Structure 1
């Protein structure tokens, strides 16, 4: 798509708009590691083909800054973190994402570049990993998450995975075949505090109790049946019918 737009606009304008678009997309897909988003970012980075000059070098610095930051957002914290939806986090993201392209690392004329790192205040750990409470080994579980909104259709995830924004979650239920089902209601202060403690202090490792099922044992050994136990008397042998059989 980018090569087609160059027939109608200048390359600097096209690359600037494309860099802002992929930067905005990475904010939405932060921490997901989405492959299609990664391809879009790489396409923008690989189409900076202006001939070397002072003007092009200063422009490329700004576009590369946005593209590289977008890559960092896409794999935020090894795809274990996400951006919070709180008011403070939104303000930090707005300040750090102001769409002004600096010409060099020392260019503070239009934007104070250290403010670009305020996005780090807006991050939150959202990777949930259920573990066995006795062996502390990671296990796979299904999670049914109810998210607040008009369409409250449950979201099904395969844990370990990254949760949706914590402020939008209403209820989480995760279950497995041999483990106890766990239900966390975010409207309950205790459940909400428990989940936040697991994510902040234990890096998302949620202990789950294993259920030991008791099976009834019918036979200690394979049953043995004797013919004498079945019949009280010996069978009567009658050979007289053999005399009436036709010969030949």
Structure 2
């Protein structure tokens, strides 16, 4: 079987790298949609009393409720010491604590990605050497990983382990969101979340300023765009922060 010309191999490698980038952006989009839609199922649109209400299912019992109660306890501590904007600072401090706890996993992920990045020149040489022979290429790559002491999954496994914790944190924030309607934080007039049982319909509603504004925001004299920013700022910042820190 003849060898492929260099220009063909370069085009194939370019298409492969382009496909990998598309998969990365698709993964990010899936994570964002999952955070907005899948976290915290089963809570009524009126909110819940996390302290006095029994959780439903294993997810709420072992993940969402413990995180929500810990956040409520931290807010009580800040409120007793006279901290202004105690709910906002409680959310920030609690999020930092979660990131500190999961930092070893993040560090492992960063080191794994860095090790794989350092091996990229050698991997590219193997790709040029074996061309379309996928079996020999895979065997050579595994030998290279073993010699370098690198686990090819070391950049993915820590993220997979962290995702339930991060989704649980967001679910806890959403679960107690309706109780934050009177809590402000600097320029943000309302820390309450839109009820996720309504899906994403609240986004289109907020664009219709003056017609479909939720009752709890009717008293605010703001444009639909400003209301949308106020509702999106916390979940969007949470997702972006998680993505950047990975």
TM-score calculated relative to the size of structure 2 = 0.28
Larger relative helix fraction: 2
Larger relative strand fraction: 1
Higher relative contact order, chain-length normalized (CA < 8 Å, sep 6+): 2
TM-score calculated relative to the size of structure 1 = 0.28
Answer with 1 or 2: which has the greater Rg: 1
